[in-house]
Amino acid sequence: MAHYPITHHLTDDLLMSYAAGTLPEAFALVAASHVSLCDECRARLGAYEALGGAVLDTEAEAMTDDALERGLAACLSRLDRPAPVQRPAMRQGPLPGPLADWIGGGLETVRWRPLGMGVRQAILPTSRRATARLLHIPAGVAVPDHGHRGTELTLVLQGAFRDETARFGPGDVEVAGQELDHQPVAEPGVDCICLAATDAPLRFNALLPRLLQPLFRI
């Protein structure tokens, strides 16, 4: 995968949980995929992992927030440059390495199911605490507007989409929570392919998607 300018990143909470190994598999898959493409998040993840090790070596309860902050700053400063990663995604089209490994191949191995309006999805096997799906949204097409009962992570693999908050291009990840209602629209030109993970059903505003929801596990 080419080196895209990534502007939307994982939150610190997500990176910390990922470092601690407490994310549901579906979220961990999005995190691993984004980290494999993003030098910045990889560096922060490295710092959290180092900090986690440092905390385990001391009396965790004895550490004040100040001490933790100092420890994190120290870990961050020790990482001068993130190690260059190999980008196995190169040979897998738009799929980042961890995702290609997870599905066991490239996009041609994906078995898509129609969601309506030309949108297709493929649910990936993960633990049931959260659901991961690939979404293929034709260029210019809008996903039904919806809110969220939990957290939704959307990583762009190809193309781009816009919603009420911003534009998301390849490598960008949108972190949507209960406060956000949005209608993602794929940009014209190239079909948009995303990896999305949710830990609760979406809240669709229109009746039809609401009726079809259980069928699509979305």
List Cα–Cα distances, 39 to 45, 46, 81, 142, 168, in angstroms: 10, 10, 9, 31, 17
Single residue of 23, 29, 38, 75 touching Zn ion by CB under 5 A = 38
9 binds Zn ion (CB under 5 A): yes
Q: Which of 174, 180, 196 is nearest to 146 (CA)?
A: 180
Stretch that binds Zn ion, among 60-68, 84-92, 111-119, 145-153 (CB under 5 A): 145-153
Restricted to residues 39-98, the positions that interact with Zn ion (CB under 5 A) are 40-41
Q: Which stretch binds Zn ion (CB under 5 A): 31-39, 47-55, 58-66, 102-110?
A: 31-39
Give the binding-site size for Zn ion (rule: CB under 5 A).
Answer: 6
- Gap between the Cα atoms of 107 and 94, Å rounded: 8
- Phi first, then psi, for residue 73 (nearest 5°) are -60, -40
Q: Is 175 exposed, middle or buried (0-12, 13-18, 19+ CB in 10 A)?
A: middle
CB of 49 to Zn ion, least distance (A): 15
Applying the rule CB under 5 A, the residues between 160 and 189 that interact with Zn ion are: 176
Minimum CB separation from Zn ion for residue 169, in Å?
13
Nearest distance in Å: CB 60, Zn ion = 27
Tokens of 175: 């972190």
Residues in touch with Zn ion (CB under 5 A): 9, 38, 40-41, 152, 176
